[in-house]
Amino acid sequence: MNSVARKWMGWAFFNLVLVALAGLLLRTKILFPLPWLHHKNLLHAHSHFAFAGWISLFLMSALVSLLPAERAGRYNRILTAYCITAYGMLFSFPFQGYGPVSIFFSTVSVLASWWFGYELWREKSLAASGKLVGRMSRWSVFYLILSSLGTFFLAWLMANHINKAELYFGSIYFYLHFQYNGWFLFAILTLLLARLKPSAQEGLGFSLQALAWICLPAYFLSALWMRLPLWMFVLAVIAALLQPLVVINLFRKGYRELVDSLRSPAQRQLWGLSIITFLIKIVLQSLSVIPGLSSYAFAYRPVVIGYLHLVLLGFVTLFLFGWMLEKGILRAVNGHLSAWCRLFIVGILLTEFTLMAQGISAMFYVAIPLTNELLFGAAICLFGGILGMNLESRYLTQVIRPMRMQG
């Protein structure tokens, strides 16, 4: 792995501590009076920094790790600029919400992501890992750039004081869909493909290309709460039917190769959980085409938050932990997950079960006691787990490895 990628992966991993700390403060604010803390403004900082400072920064760095060292150096300025904008949003949103400073950093962050996308699109050295690696990397940055159109449309609505809920939420879901199901997913697929031999990639091309194209009409699955024209609803139904079939075909052809390539039980556990949550995501997306279920899903905030965290924490974050484990950034204990990593996973499970229970109980107008306390406990687990993992990682890098090299 080149030094540029390793440095920025380390920064992104540390940034996850700050994401978890912001999440813990948000849960604390619900239970205890903190007059100095503006909940909505901190929520904006939390979500923007989670996307830019943790997930996107890490995925960009991981993609750069696939490049030769002489090519990776040119991305150092891009990643530096992108990380600065992430911190700008983290430290401006809590104090002013959507104000001049936070909007400036948000805009520059998007421009920096375009810069990265432009450079990676032109990158020819990725093809050395296989033609599919190059193609999937281009799909990933295509959706990274496409998703930003939702944020610009939202800014246009706010600047023109257009208060139409359908347009407002439609632009937000546009951004989220093409981030979650486009940029995040295809960046991860690029990293997975790069691990496989070119011969093992054969036969996956058609399904991967189909999945990439299906992502476009699948946006309408996130807009079923609106009054869609018939042709949009038909496209949503087609996407709901085709997506699971394509995913099943991918697993049928590539799952065995992937499993055989894993040597660490810890990595198998992390990627096993990541795959399970990915499959749950696909099922939930397809089921959302049912009118009654879609109305329920979008009507209750805990369900929406639960789904977003399922993908962000369960699928993406656990996959990235497995990637770090493979690259020696994270530590396994005798081949198994560390106690800190297990604590983090407990936090994910507790968060998901509590949010889903909250959503289901709201359907029947029944209040489940102590849900806020349970979510507060889950936030403590997430923060404690990632803080411990970071400290372990830095100890491993700064102390143990140099000792081994001297030995």
Residues 6+ apart with CB under 8 A from 269: 336, 337
Q: Is 159 exposed, middle or buried (0-12, 13-18, 19+ CB in 10 A)?
A: exposed
pLDDT of residue 336: 85
pLDDT of residue 234: 92
β-partners of residue 333 are 336
Structure tokens at 163: 């208060």
Structure tokens at 193: 């493909």
pLDDT of residue 395: 56
In degrees rounded to 5, what are phi and psi of residue 278? Answer: -65, -45
pLDDT of residue 240: 92
pLDDT of residue 84: 97
Per-residue pLDDT of the chain (407 residues; tens, 9 = 90+): 788 999 999 999 999 999 999 999 999 999 988 888 899 999 999 999 999 999 999 999 999 999 988 888 899 999 999 999 999 999 999 998 888 999 999 999 999 999 999 999 998 888 777 788 989 999 999 999 999 999 888 888 887 888 887 888 889 999 999 999 999 999 999 999 888 877 777 788 899 999 999 999 999 988 887 788 899 999 999 999 999 999 998 888 777 777 777 778 888 899 999 999 999 999 988 888 887 676 666 667 778 888 899 999 999 999 999 999 988 888 888 778 999 999 999 999 999 999 988 877 777 677 788 889 999 999 999 999 999 999 987 655 554 444 343 44
pLDDT of residue 101: 94
pLDDT of residue 34: 86
pLDDT of residue 12: 95
Residues 317, 345: Cα–Cα separation, whole Å: 10
Return contacts of 180-183, CB within 8 angstroms, 24+ apart: 180/308, 180/311, 180/312, 181/143, 181/215, 181/218, 181/285, 182/139, 182/140, 182/142, 182/143, 182/144, 182/146, 182/147, 182/215, 183/56, 183/59, 183/140, 183/141, 183/143, 183/144, 183/147
* Nearest Cα to Cα of residue 89 among 65, 66, 113, 117: 113
pTM: predicted TM-score of the whole model, two decimal places? 0.92
Residues 274, 282: Cα–Cα separation, whole Å: 13
Structure tokens at 108: 């520059």
* Nearest Cα to Cα of residue 165 among 216, 210, 227, 249: 227
Structure tokens at 401: 């490895």
